[in-house]
Structure 1
Amino acid sequence: MTTDRTGALTLLDTLAGLQDDFLTTIPRVDPATRVPWCGRWRVTDLVVHLARIHHWAAGQASRTQETPLGRGPFVLEQLYATCAAELRDTLTALGPDARAWTLVGNGPASFWHRRQTHETLVHLWDLRTAGGLGLEVEPALWADTVDEVVTVMQPRQERMGRMEPLAAPIELVADDAGRSWLLGAPTEPVPSATVTGPAETLALLLWGRARQDDPRLAVSGDAAALADALGRRLTP
């Protein structure tokens, strides 16, 4: 994670660092390795997916229709390096305030600094965990992953009719980052359940990579309401 002099996340630099980590991890993991939290995917599918997403996001940021990459087969490291560089170069050239297409309508290109940082972080976790490798990331970055789900992704899922609103919110408390959130049901201030734990585990919970019975998490309140919330399409 990179911060500026005020301590705020500088996400374009953070994105570049995560992309570099992803690229250097690719040759360390057998491409046929299963990625069980991503359905039937193997590592090959994961790498191609993230490369395609970077390529697509570069087009969204510059408001141009991307040229399809084709079906492959691909040389994984070469493909990922090319698409990662394309995204970084595009975002750098545009600057954060350029007008872009985003997941929530027209907005600043900086939207993609954040969105692609968290897309890369989650898939870097996927890749390294599938390969039995650890990943050390500061809690503040994982906390921002949680924040993006709560403030952008889950509300968008509701607006698009991909999930019904929660009857009552779920409180999320990152005890290593000093942050908390209410997920869903913004008009109802009283949470049905509270989940406390490391920001990383909360982020992985929302992205379907951790379970509510994870020993790193403490759950109070209505566990059934939490299970119901987690069973919905909180993210695309």
Structure 2
Amino acid sequence: MRREADLLVMSALGQPPHKGVPACPGLNLGETVRHVGSGYHWTLEYLRLGEEPRDWQRYPADGQDLLEFTRSAAEAVVEQLAAHDEDEPCATWWPEQRNYGFWRRRLAHETTVHRMDVQGAAGMDAGPVDDEVALDGVDEVLTLWLGHKLDTLGVRGSRDEVVAVRVQDHMWLTRCGPQGASAWRVEPEDAEHADALVTADPMTMYRWLWGRLPDRMIEVYGDHDAIAQLWALLRLATK
């Protein structure tokens, strides 16, 4: 996370804050940087209180530079997480993982995705993401955001559809419909009867699942309506 936070801040350095994020219409560079810094402060308060905070520092203090607001918050979070083992219990918003490892993973992906947003707004190519990180990001967006966050929002699909997600030799199945959404890892042969399949290299799939790339950047097979439903539900889950 520290490296990604440093890259995010360096990519924003000297850039006009009003520059738009190409992958997210309506979002600009300055608001992206502020959002990330606010998220770091929110996490620090969550860990301090042991529950979701109602109030935290959302904006730079008087006289504080926006980049310093985010950079200093990132440093504080890194220090807080480094002081605890990954398996040490703590409060989180995912019942399946109540430990500091949850926050390390969550903030690493939050920072990486928005680092690429800032680079896009600055007119730069998105810097690479290691395959291992991107694969973990694919798993996180499917199991945490689609499989859990969507349910907490009370959002359901209109059709019961199964879409397989393949990245290299890794495979997930997603089921979306009136009964809710879920996602889980499977062996390739377990996906033979899915309604549709989407496949791409790790970084491309990572960005597509987060809504940062269009469908033409991945390979799609089968029921396009099932893929469209998955895409729409992911946008609501990760909004």
Q: TM class, shorter-chain normalised?
A: 0.7 to 0.9
Partner of 2:167: 174
2:58 and 2:45 map into 1 onto residues whose CA distance is: 16
- Structure 1 residue 94, shift from structure 2 partner: 3.0
Secondary structure, aligned partner of 2:136: helix
Partner of 1:38: 24
Letter in 2 for 1:25: S
For residues 151-166 of structure 1, what are the structure 2 equivalents within 5 Å?
Answer: 151-165=143-157
- Structure 1 residue 97, shift from structure 2 partner: 2.9
Secondary structure, aligned partner of 1:184: strand
List gaps (5 residues or longer) in structure 1. Answer: 1-14
Partner of 2:85: 95
CA-based RMSD of the aligned residues comes to 2.4
For residues 163-202 of structure 1, what are the structure 2 equivalents within 5 Å?
Answer: 163-165=155-157, 167-175=160-168, 178-185=169-176, 190-202=193-205
Identity of counterpart residues, as a percentage? 23
Secondary structure, aligned partner of 2:18: coil
Per-residue CA distance 1:154-194 (angstroms, 9 max, x = gap): 1113421442156122111113xx32211235599632111
Contact 2:162 2:174 in 1 (8 A): yes
Partner of 2:119: 128
Q: Please tell me whether residue 69 in structure 1 is matched to residue 57 in structure 2.
A: yes
1:228 and 1:67 map into 2 onto residues whose CA distance is: 35
Contact 1:154 1:184 in 2 (8 A): no
List gaps (5 residues or longer) in structure 2. Answer: 177-181, 184-189
Partner of 1:81: 71
CA change 1:70–1:204 in 2 (3 A) is closer
1:58 and 1:91 map into 2 onto residues whose CA distance is: 10
Contact 2:34 2:59 in 1 (8 A): no
Q: Please tell me whether residue 53 in structure 1 is matched to residue 39 in structure 2.
A: yes
Letter in 2 for 1:126: D
- Relative to the length of structure 2, the TM-score reads 0.81
Partner of 2:187: none
- Relative to the length of structure 1, the TM-score reads 0.82
1:156 and 1:60 map into 2 onto residues whose CA distance is: 19
Aligned length: 218
Secondary structure, aligned partner of 1:94: coil
Per-residue CA distance 1:98-134 (angstroms, 9 max, x = gap): 3222121471111000000010110011111221212
